[in-house]
Amino acid sequence: MWPTVLAASAFLLAVIVLVLVFHRRRRNRLYQQLARERAQIVANHPVRLAATCPEQYAAEFAKRPLVRIPDFVATESLEAMKQEALDNLHRVERTYLPTHKKGGTVSYEAISRYAPHCLSFYHSPEVQNWISMITGVKVYPTPDQDQSSLSLLCYTETGDHINWHYDHNFYKGRHFTVLLPLINRSRDGGPSASQLEYKISQEVETCDTSPNALVVFEGVKVLHRATPTREGDTRIILSMTYCSDPRNDWRKELLRRIKDIAFFGIRALWD
């Protein structure tokens, strides 16, 4: 009896390991393919920036780890990204964690395939130079397998929100969150009820997330949340992460994947 059970368990374990190994190899080939195609996509979809004088925001960031830059990109670039966000709403992956989060996300992989202007913005050398000048360290995009490296956060149903949290760092270098609001409107045409609130000291502050206002902050230092939407609200934000050293080890990678369950469901553990 027991020898049979042990043999069957060993066989099942071997099958599971083989499936995971082949799945991992397939996913790695996909990421390599997307990386090879990216340079041409970025070249074909240039980003035009409207903001100037990053030095003034660098001085502000040196005093407190959150800055907001209004009117960051040119109108045509913003409109192209807004249209891509709307065109990809059917690719949203919705999750719900009681008391913590309700909302939808379009992953880095989906953006790489179907939203070239958004992809180009994230990988734009000009944008990366801006973030580097503001933060005071040279930054790089985080890895392709991190689906939250570049994503669209979509608050489109009543009560969509995310509660107080830090953006924890799973990499060796300093880690920064960058948000570019693309759409923020209510049914009557005003701004949505959802607001970005944050705490740097003990006081709760509100950050204006009107479209085209770039928000840069160091997530491990800024406690923040998005308050709930109301019926008819639409709030879509291009969310990006940059890091001064985007390497990690298997422990941090596992923790990162566990965190991403909140955005992409259980598949985050193996995709």
Tell me if 157 is assigned to some domain: yes
| End-to-end C-alpha distance for the chain, whole angstroms | 37
- Burial code (b: 16+ CB inside 10 Å, e: under 16) for 43-71 equals eebebebebeebeebbebbeeebbbbbeb
Tell me if 4 is assigned to some domain: no
Which residue pairs, CB below 8 angstroms and at least 24 apart, start in 255-261? Answer: 255/168, 255/170, 256/146, 256/170, 259/168, 259/170, 260/146, 260/147, 260/148, 261/95
**Residue 5: predicted pLDDT:** 66
Tell me if 230 is assigned to some domain: yes
Name residues of the chain where pLDDT drops below 50: none
Angular region, 212: left φ>0, alpha ψ -120 to 50, beta rest: left
Please state, in angstroms and rounded to a whole number, the distance separating the CA atoms of residues 10 and 101: 39
Half-sphere exposure at residue 63, Cβ-oriented, CA atoms within 13 angstroms: 5
Rounded to whole angstroms, the maximal C-alpha distance in the chain is 75
**Residue 255: predicted pLDDT:** 87
How far, rounded to the nearest angstrom, does the alpha carbon of residue 213 sit from its chain's CA centroid? 16
CATH of the domain at 55: 2.60.120.620
Half-sphere exposure at residue 171, Cβ-oriented, CA atoms within 13 angstroms: 20
Tell me if 170 is assigned to some domain: yes
* 8-state DSSP, 271: -
Tell me if 27 is assigned to some domain: no
**Residue 2: predicted pLDDT:** 67
Axis crossing angle, helix 116-123 with helix 2-44, rounded to the nearest 10: 90
Tell me if 225 is assigned to some domain: yes
Q: How many domains are there within the chain?
A: 1
Tell me if 17 is assigned to some domain: no
Integer CA distances (angstroms), 156 to 30, 146, 164, 229, in order: 30, 24, 20, 8
pTM of the model: 0.91
Cα radius of gyration (the chain): 20
- Domain of 92 in residue numbering reads as 45-269
Tell me if 21 is assigned to some domain: no
